[in-house]
């Protein structure tokens, strides 16, 4: 489940990137990279899912 969540999260960001590039919205394109920051809420959520999955696999 965590892997599917990560894949979906990355897919969503890449699709948004494609839409913004095709619309030549360069200012918003530059802001996509902030979503891959450890301080971005959605990145933190995905990171927590990965950690939780790692803990479950270790137990």
Q: Over the stretch 16-59, which tens digit does the pLDDT of each residue have?
A: 999 999 999 998 888 887 777 777 787 788 888 888 888 888 88
Residue 46 contacts residue 5 (beta carbons within 8 Å):
yes
Residue 5 contacts residue 52 (beta carbons within 8 Å):
no
In the chain, domain spans:
2-58
Q: Annotate 1-37 with b (16+ C-beta within 10 A) or e (fewer).
A: ebeeeeeebeeebeeeeeebeeeeeeeebeeeeeeee
Q: Which of the 8 DSSP states describes residue 53? A: H
Residue 38 and residue 2: Cα distance in Å, rounded?
A: 17
The pLDDT score that the predictor gives to residue 21 is 93
Provide the whole-model pTM. Answer: 0.59
């Amino acid at each position: 489940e965590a892997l599917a969540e990560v894949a979906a999260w990355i897919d969503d960001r890449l699709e948004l990137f494609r839409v913004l590039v095709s619309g030549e919205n360069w200012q918003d394109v530059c802001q996509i990279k902030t979503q891959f920051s450890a301080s971005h809420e959605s990145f933190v959520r995905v990171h927590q899912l990965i950690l939780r999955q790692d803990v479950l696999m270790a137990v």
